[in-house]
Amino acid sequence: MHSERELLNRDLYVFETMVSQLGTYLSSEDTFWELQEPGMPKLTIGGCLMRRDRLQTLHGKLTPPAAEQLQQIVGQLGAVMMENVVRFEQRAHQELHARFGEWVRCLGKLSQHVAEDAGYYADKVDIRVVIGALVDQMQHTPFQLAPQILTELHTLDNNLRNRWQPDGFVWVATWQAAYPRDGFWYLYGLPR
């Protein structure tokens, strides 16, 4: 098990690596971009936004140099976004479409997998967190969120709520302060 500091530093490193390649990624057609370093998650806009959001929320737990590094990376991300507004918006919608497909498939398999492996949901729910990060970003100027996205998300959330069993936080405790129960109810329990 990794310490809180190790988890935060790793997340910061992943975020920095993703942002450093985001410009090249945006010019590609890949939704999920392979990072060259072994053990790294795939680069996506949503993955960058998820890490930005949680690291900014948890910045008080970072060392002062790491907090300063975070602010620099966030600034770099903002610059890439503003230099590529149209392409960023197109790619974010492309990723949302792919993530919705993933989440629908995941929800369809939940009953079977949760019964067999309680960790299955904890491993897959990051899809929903990434969808939320993308939706939140796309609702801020200069971006525009396609109107059907919120309707589709509301429908999927209602379906999950209908079989929801509230319980404890499903991820490691380090991330809990970044994801309050009110806004991230789907991280506090399991589907039945």
Phi-psi region of 35 (alpha: psi -120 to 50; beta: other; left: phi over 0): beta
Write the pLDDT tens digit of every residue in 72-115: 999 999 999 999 999 999 999 999 999 999 999 998 888 776 66
pLDDT band at 23 (very low <50, low <70, confident <90, very high): very high
Exposed e or buried b per residue across 111-131, where buried means at least 16 C-beta atoms within 10 angstroms of its C-beta? eebbeeeeebbeebbbbbbbb
Write the pLDDT tens digit of every residue in 32-66: 888 888 889 999 999 999 999 999 999 999 999 99
pLDDT at 161: 95
- Bridge partner residues of 33 (DSSP): 43
Dump strand ranges (E) for the chain: 164-169, 188-191
pLDDT, greater one: 3 or 110: 3
Write out the H or E segment, with its range, that includes residue 42: none
State yes or no: pLDDT of 31 exceeds 90: no
For the chain, helix, strand, coil in percent to 5 are: 70, 5, 25
The crossing angle, in degrees rounded to 10, of helices 85-116 and 126-138 is 160
Mean pLDDT, rounded, of the chain:
94
HSE-up (13 A, CA, CB side) for residue 4: 12
pLDDT at 115: 61
By C-alpha distance, which of 57, 58, 61, 68 is closest to 16? Answer: 68
Q: How far does CA 188 lie from the centroid of its chain?
A: 16
